[in-house]
Amino acid sequence: MARNKNFLLSTDTIIFDLDGTLLESMGVWNEIDRILIHELGGPWEEEMMVGKRRDALLARFSGMENPYGEYCGALGRIYGSSLSKEEILALRHTIDKDFLGTRVDYKPGAVELIKRLHDLGKTLIIATTTKRPNITIYRTENRNIMDKAPLDDYFAAIYTREDVKAIKPSPEVHERILHDLHKKREECFILEDSLSGILAARAAGIPVGAVYDRYSADDKEKIQALSDCWYDSLDDAVKELDTLLTN
């Protein structure tokens, strides 16, 4: 895209979203929720529809104390379950533990990009709506992640759902990062895959690059219009960085 301003090289702090940006995980979450819906008495629903509804419901509940609990409660109402939202959320966690520990992996190009930026002395941060127990699984149990680029080795801080009152598209997590790291907005660059993530970056006033993920394809035009640059993949971001370093 024409608005690319070499943010990967010109900024010193890179803030990564996690699911769908660094990790090939959105399809995993869709499968988890397909199983959950079936357990609640619903049909085996189409994967993309499950993901779109989850995104819409989480955006609606983003300012509430427990958006994922409210999401589970909404699923219970849709499918006529007698379980409470707390019970449905606990069931979801039971389903997701094996998936997160064995199936989630880095997206193509992610490991190389992380290592290149780290070697350049960039401060790398993760800002995710994922809850801390899931991050613990990625940090301590998921060999796909641990063997390729352990999170603790490359990221200076990881901000999770528990660190904010409102999840994306609220800019709260990015505002907190600016405060905690004593950074100016122009010193940072955000990489995101979803419309809610792009909107959060925009609201925070921080430059943002969009990374294609097929689960956000329906929002592609909006995402491109709102982002400062676009990458078809993280491999493209690595190529851009190599070009900048050799010129």
| pLDDT value of residue 177 | 98
Residue 3 is predicted with a pLDDT of 47
- Phi-psi map region of 90: left, alpha, beta (phi>0 left; psi -120 to 50 alpha): alpha
The phi and psi torsions of 102 (rounded to 5 degrees) equal -125, -25
Going by C-alpha positions, the residue among 154, 173, 172, 35 that lies closest to residue 93 is: 35
Confidence of residue 179 (pLDDT cuts 50, 70, 90): very high
Give pLDDT, residue 231: 96
Structure token digits, residue 178: 């600016």
- For the stretch 40-64, pLDDT in tens is 999 999 999 999 999 999 989 988 9
Instruction: Work out the percent of the chain whose per-residue pLDDT is above 90.
Output: 90
Percent of the chain predicted with pLDDT > 70: 98
Structure-token pair, residue 68: 């994922």
Round to the nearest angstrom and report the end-to-end CA distance of the chain.
19
User: 190 pLDDT exceeds 80?
Assistant: yes
Q: What is the mean pLDDT of residues 89-101?
A: 92
pLDDT score, position 247: 79
Encode pLDDT of 60-89 as tens digits.
998 898 999 999 999 999 999 999 999 999
CA distance 238 to 18: 17
Confidence label for 5 from pLDDT (cuts 50, 70 and 90): low
Q: What is the pTM of this model?
A: 0.86
For the stretch 111-158, pLDDT in tens is 999 999 999 999 999 999 999 999 999 999 999 999 999 999 999 999
Tell me whether residue 218 is exposed, middle or buried, using C-beta atoms within 10 angstroms of its C-beta: 0 to 12, 13 to 18, 19 or more: middle
Amino acid identity at 86: E
- Is the pLDDT at 4 greater than 80? The verdict is no
For residues 23 and 5, which has the higher predicted lDDT (pLDDT)? 23
- How high is the pLDDT of residue 1? 38
Q: Which of the four pLDDT bands, split at 50, 70 and 90, describes residue 6?
A: confident
Burial 77-114 (b: 16+ CB within 10 A, else e): eebebebebeebbebbbebbeebbbebbbbbebbbbbb
CA–CA separation, 173 and 170 (whole Å):
8
Query: Is residue 43 left, alpha or beta, with left meaning phi > 0 and alpha meaning psi from -120 to 50?
Result: beta
Distance CA 142, CA 40 (A): 28
